[in-house]
Structure 1
Amino acid sequence: MSITSIESVLQQMRVLAQASGPSSTAVSDTSAGGFAGELQKSLARISDTQQAAYRQAEAFELGQPGVALNDVMVDMQKASIGFQMGLQVRNKVVAAYQEIMNMPA
């Protein structure tokens, strides 16, 4: 994998992490396969999980029927674990990039 493709993946990760809109459209527009495509799909799933958990928490706060506190807490923990996993993957990608950059030519 070339340095430009790694930088491209890192830039895509930053853009997706900062995006506040629905990320499912970004996944459907991705025609590239491989690592970059899988990474975008994973980030989209993490974002969707977080958005669903926040919607459910808001519904509980508003007192909507059929929304139990234990379901809200479980979904919030799932979203948190997914985010932490994504963060660790990003850290590993950055560490691998730095290791490649420090290799003698």
Structure 2
Amino acid sequence: MDIKASALLNEMQALQGEMRTPNQVNAPGLHQDFSALLSKAINNVNELQQSTDSLRGRFELGDEAVSLEQVMIAAQKSGIAFEATVQVRNKLVDAYKTIMNMPV
């Protein structure tokens, strides 16, 4: 199966658009709770990892409908999403430590 450059570009642009939406939280009608946004992001990472595991399992079992390219792209997507989640967690922990160390 060939990787279609235009389809990959469209998907990357859609993901970029999704990442920009949280910056519009202050816009009227778009206010969302931070915990809801964080929960949604974590659930998205979990879904990506489960999808990758499913594709990997199907490929290993010899399913001809699943190509190596699909498995590798899915693995990269879930890996990047997981790393981004870890970075957000690290920033939150750093912010918490900073606040806790502030003199009262």
- TM-score clears 0.5: yes
Residue number in structure 1 paired with 2:101: 102
Aligned to 1:12: none
Task: Note the C-alpha offset of 1:65.
Answer: 1.9
Residue identity (%): 41
TM superposition shift of 1:50: 0.4
Q: Match for residue 70 of structure 2?
A: 71
Mapped partners of 2:58, 2:65: distance in 1 = 9
**Rounded Cα–Cα distance in structure 2 between residues aligned with 1:100 and 1:74:** 39
Q: How many residues align?
A: 73
- 2-structure distance, mates of 1:102, 1:35: 23
Structure 1 CA distance for aligned equivalents of residues 85 and 69 of structure 2:
24
**Partner AA of 1:48 in structure 2:** E
Confirm whether residue 53 of structure 1 aligns to residue 52 of structure 2: yes
Partner of 2:38: 39
CA distance in 2, matches of 1:45, 1:80: 12
| CA positional deviation for 1:72 | 0.3
* TM-score, normalising length: structure 1: 0.68
Secondary structure in 2 aligned to 1:104? coil
Q: Distance in 1 between matches of 2:73 and 2:36?
A: 28
Structure 1 segments, 4+ long, off by >4 Å, are: none
Does residue 85 of structure 1 match 2:80? no
Question: Deviation of residue 52 (structure 1)?
Answer: 0.1
Alpha-carbon distance in 1 for matches of 2:58, 2:99: 47
In structure 1, list runs of 5 or more residues that go unmatched: 1-32
Separation (CA, whole Å) in 1 of partners of 2:70 and 2:36: 31
Structure 2 length-normalised TM: 0.69
Deviation at 1:48, TM superposition (A): 0.2
